């Protein structure tokens, strides 16, 4: 029998088999091989002396460290227009990690009633990059139907997740999108503008034809070590660069400062958002200093 891992806690996994869900443990062999079963994994179940156990992990499409999940098809990269203040660099780290792992990013700007101008500006930046982007307000109900329709239209069997900083409203939005859920939410500290890390683990919920996960919010610390890929992989993680790659004056152009760089020209012409290129520069600096053995 096969199934999909929908939750995990202290070595106990919830597996949805299509004929209901079972709770079970993984065979000891995974621990020896340092292979970790994560939410989103498709697994094989076998009966042994102790009952049902996970006996094999099916080949993965991808696996992320944050959120700890496998086989993601879509990631709803979520920020708030305010409280906490949006951090485009954090959003761009998430989109680049997603792109590198062949996960389609979709942008959600929540709490849009708090700062409509900033919300519209952020959506504009990501639409210019070619992403689907939604402004939503859980408090005023705005944009919820559009996101719901989008999720309902995702391919059968697809796996998605909401991801972003703590307190941006991921669980609040899930509660509105899926009225059967009553996920815990809690207020953002006014003093620090930080969330309280209310969601503690990744859980997949059935959504239309697929699955969608609520995940624990990030803190800035989670992103200090950005070592998922190398600087040579970086340009390909910005989809708005794609058409221009290979058209710069120098074949080895780093798109950071060279004369005749087609990417820089597009930034000056307003065809590529400056904040996206700023993130590119910052990531380039980090990855430039990264050694292969840092992985």
Ligand X SMILES: Nc1nc2c(ncn2[C@@H]2O[C@H](COP(=O)(O)OP(=O)(O)OP(=O)(O)O)[C@@H](O)[C@H]2O)c(=O)[nH]1
Query: Between residues 185 and 279, which has the closer beta carbon with respect to ligand X?
Result: 185
3 touches which of ligand X, Zn ion, Mg ion, none (CB within 5 to 8 A by kind)?
Answer: none
168 touches which of Mg ion, ligand X, Zn ion, none (CB within 5 to 8 A by kind)?
Answer: ligand X
What torsion, rounded to 10 degrees, do the Cα atoms 97, 181, 5, 208 define? -80
Residue from 120, 124, 49, 97 nearest 236 by CA: 97
Shortest reach from residue 82's CB to ligand X, in Å: 8
Beta-carbon count within 10 A of 275 CB:
16
Shortest reach from residue 271's CB to Zn ion, in Å: 14
Q: Which letter does DSSP use for residue 173 in this model? A: H
Judged by CB under 5 A, does residue 175 bind Mg ion? Answer: no
Shortest reach from residue 100's CB to Zn ion, in Å: 20
Q: What whole-number distance in Å separates Cα of residue 236 and Cα of residue 163?
A: 22
Judged by CB under 5 A, does residue 78 bind Mg ion? Answer: no
3-state secondary structure of 127: helix
Q: What whole-number distance in Å separates Cα of residue 248 and Cα of residue 268?
A: 15
Shortest reach from residue 54's CB to ligand X, in Å: 27
Contacts of 114 (CB under 8 A, 6+ apart): 80, 81, 82, 83
**Residue 261 Cα distances to 50, 258, 275, 286, angstroms:** 63, 6, 17, 21
Judged by CB under 5 A, does residue 266 bind Zn ion? Answer: no
- 12-16/2-9 β-pairing: antiparallel
Shortest reach from residue 184's CB to ligand X, in Å: 7
86 touches which of Zn ion, ligand X, Mg ion, none (CB within 5 to 8 A by kind)?
Answer: none
Shortest reach from residue 217's CB to Mg ion, in Å: 6
Q: What whole-number distance in Å separates Cα of residue 65 and Cα of residue 229?
A: 13
Q: Which letter does DSSP use for residue 20 in this model? A: -
Judged by CB under 5 A, does residue 171 bind Mg ion? Answer: yes
5 touches which of Zn ion, Mg ion, ligand X, none (CB within 5 to 8 A by kind)?
Answer: none
The residues that touch ligand X, with contacts defined as CB under 6 A, are: 110-111, 113-114, 137-139, 166-172, 185-188, 195-199, 216-217
What's the CA angle centered on 30, arms 24 and 33, to 5 degrees? 170
Query: Between residues 62 and 198, which has the closer beta carbon with respect to Mg ion?
Result: 198
Judged by CB under 5 A, does residue 261 bind Zn ion? Answer: yes
Judged by CB under 5 A, does residue 248 bind Zn ion? Answer: yes
Beta-carbon count within 10 A of 73 CB:
19
167 touches which of Zn ion, Mg ion, ligand X, none (CB within 5 to 8 A by kind)?
Answer: ligand X
**Residue 59 Cα distances to 41, 66, 101, 228, angstroms:** 9, 19, 14, 20
Judged by CB under 5 A, does residue 253 bind Zn ion? Answer: yes
Shortest reach from residue 171's CB to Mg ion, in Å: 3
Which position's Cβ is nearest ligand X?
A: 217
Task: Report the residue from 175, 199, 203, 254 that binds Mg ion according to the rule CB under 5 A.
Answer: 199
Query: Between residues 113 and 278, which has the closer beta carbon with respect to ligand X?
Result: 113
Interface residues with Mg ion (CB under 5 A) are 170-171, 198-199
Interface residues with Zn ion (CB under 5 A) are 248, 253, 255, 261, 263
């Amino acid at each position: 029998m096969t199934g999909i891992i929908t939750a995990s806690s202290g070595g106990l996994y919830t597996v949805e088999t299509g004929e209901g869900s079972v709770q079970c443990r993984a065979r000891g062999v995974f621990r020896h091989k340092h292979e970790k079963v994560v939410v989103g994994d498709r697994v094989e179940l076998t009966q042994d002396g102790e009952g049902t156990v996970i006996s094999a992990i099916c080949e993965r499409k991808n696996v992320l460290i944050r959120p700890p999940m496998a086989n993601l098809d879509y990631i709803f990269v979520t920020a708030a227009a305010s409280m906490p203040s949006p951090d485009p660099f954090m959003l761009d780290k998430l989109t680049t990690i997603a792109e590198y792992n062949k996960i389609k990013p979709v942008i959600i700007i929540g709490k849009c009633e708090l700062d409509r101008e900033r919300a519209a500006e952020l959506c504009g930046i990501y639409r210019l990059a070619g992403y689907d982007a939604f402004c939503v307000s859980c408090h005023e109900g705005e944009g919820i139907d559009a996101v719901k329709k989008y999720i309902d239209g995702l391919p059968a069997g697809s796996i998605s997740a909401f991801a972003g900083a703590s307190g941006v409203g991921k669980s609040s939005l899930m509660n509105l999108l899926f009225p059967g859920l009553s996920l815990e939410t809690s207020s953002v500290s006014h003093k620090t503008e930080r969330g309280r890390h209310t969601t503690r683990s990744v859980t997949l919920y059935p959504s239309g034809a697929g699955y969608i996960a609520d995940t624990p919010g990030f803190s800035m610390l989670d992103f200090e070590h950005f070592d998922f890929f190398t600087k040579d992989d970086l340009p390909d993680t910005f989809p708005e660069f794609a058409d221009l790659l290979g058209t710069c004056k120098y074949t080895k152009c780093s798109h950071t400062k060279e004369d005749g760089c087609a990417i820089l020209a597009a930034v000056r012409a307003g065809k590529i958002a400056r904040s996206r290129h700023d993130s590119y520069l910052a990531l380039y600096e980090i990855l430039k200093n990264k050694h292969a053995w840092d992985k």
